Amino acid sequence: MTTQEKLEKIVKILDTKKAQDIQVIGITNLTIIADYFVIATGTSTTQVKSLADEIDFQLGELGVEPRGIEGIRAANWIVLDYDDIVVHVFYRDTRAEYQLERLWADGEQVDISGLLIEPDGDAQ
C-alpha cells in the first residue's frame, strides 16, 4: 500500500466514524519523523479510542500494522505511528491545549475535501 493510499484510507475512516476537524499536514520538508501528520478530534474519550481502534483494525485487515500506538489507556490523545504517516486522534480539550497545527504551521496543509463525505452522505 502506497503512502497516498494509506493516507486516503485513514482520512476516510476518520470521516466515516464522525471525527471532527480532520487535517492533514505534509511534513516531509520539515522532519524525518514522517511524511504526514493526520490530526482529528473526537467528542469524547470513548470516540477517540473508537477512532483509533477502527484505523488500527481496518489497516490491519490490509496488512498494514503500526510501528506503535500510544495513549490508548487515557484516550485523550492517541498516536498511531505508521512510519510515513503519524495519526493523532485528540479529545477536543486536549487538542486545543497542545495545538499541533500551530507547532507544525510550516508544514503543507493537504486538501482532503475530495475525500470527505458531504452532510447529505454523498462523497464530494
Give the tens place of pLDDT for each residue, 24-63.
999 999 999 999 999 999 999 999 999 999 999 999 999 9
pTM over 0.75: yes
CATH fit for domain 3-115, picks 2.60.120.10, 3.40.640.10, 3.40.1160.10, 3.30.460.10: 3.30.460.10
Q: How far apart are the first and last CA of the chain?
A: 23
Structural domain boundaries in the chain: 3-115
Whether 47 and 18 have beta carbons less than 8 Å apart is answered as yes
Give the tens place of pLDDT for each residue, 77-115.
999 999 999 999 999 999 999 999 998 999 999 999 999
Q: What cell was used for 59?
A: 489497516
